[in-house]
Copies of this chain bind each other. A is one copy, B any other.
Amino acid sequence: MPDSLRLFTRTQLDELDKSYRRNLINGLSGYKSLCLCATQDAEGRMNLAPMSSVIHVGAHPPLMGLLLRPHVVPRHTLENIEQTSYFSLNHVTEATYRQAHQASARYDPEQSEFEAVGLIPQPSERLPLPYVAEAPVQIGLKLRERHLLLANSTVFIVGEIQELRLLDQAIGADGFIDLQKTQSVTVSGLDSYHRGERLARLSYAKPDRDPSDLPL
């Protein structure tokens, strides 16, 4: 092993200070998507929570996945999704990341995080969910399936996309969404926010040649 690498065995991980371990393990997944998940309950009371565990599941049918920690912070999110079957995912930007971070605070259950952090709920005309009006990428989803992860009682849910509202000027001729135009941000660890700077778009990989740069 090169000198510059530091080894942590599993025993050493288990013996670390709890806060140090939380930072370390949360950092391992690298740069993460950052979305605000917006929901409402059966009475229309709205909830907002930042989520950094959103993944692409498939394009056709259009599916996204999300890990929820029902025993930690965003309890209302899962309860609302179970009541209504609907939720929205909304990109966090350079203009809103401080409000998104603040939305993770443990507010009084009667208080809407929208009001508390100063973001505007935008009702959908078709679906029982709010979007975040400020977001350049707004995704409306219907719950498709849920999986309880036995390892730590978290819940992985899969949502099927019902409608999209996207910043028009960020959509390329080939459908590519330019995240520098949307000014979407990415989070690392628990609390570090970043903008992206493009290195390259690469052509589809084939075994017999090196990838080439796509025009931007």
Q: A-side interface residues toward B, CB under 8 Å?
A: 1-2, 4-10, 13-14, 16-35, 52-65, 67, 89, 91, 94, 97-98, 101-108, 116, 122, 126, 133, 136-139, 144-145, 147, 149-152, 154, 156, 158, 160-169, 171-172, 174-177, 179, 184-186, 188-189, 191-207, 210-211, 214
Contact = CB atoms under 8 A, between A and B. Distances in A.
Contact of A57 (B2, B126, B152, B194): B152
A151 B165 CA distance: 23
Contacts of A205: 101-105
B192 A198 contact: yes
28 contacts: A5-B166, A6-B168, A8-B163, A13-B164, A23-B172, A23-B175, A25-B56, A25-B59, A27-B175, A29-B55, A30-B179, A31-B32, A31-B33, A31-B196, A53-B55, A53-B56, A57-B149, A58-B152, A65-B156, A94-B199, A97-B200, A101-B202, A102-B205, A105-B205, A145-B150, A191-B201, A191-B204, A194-B199
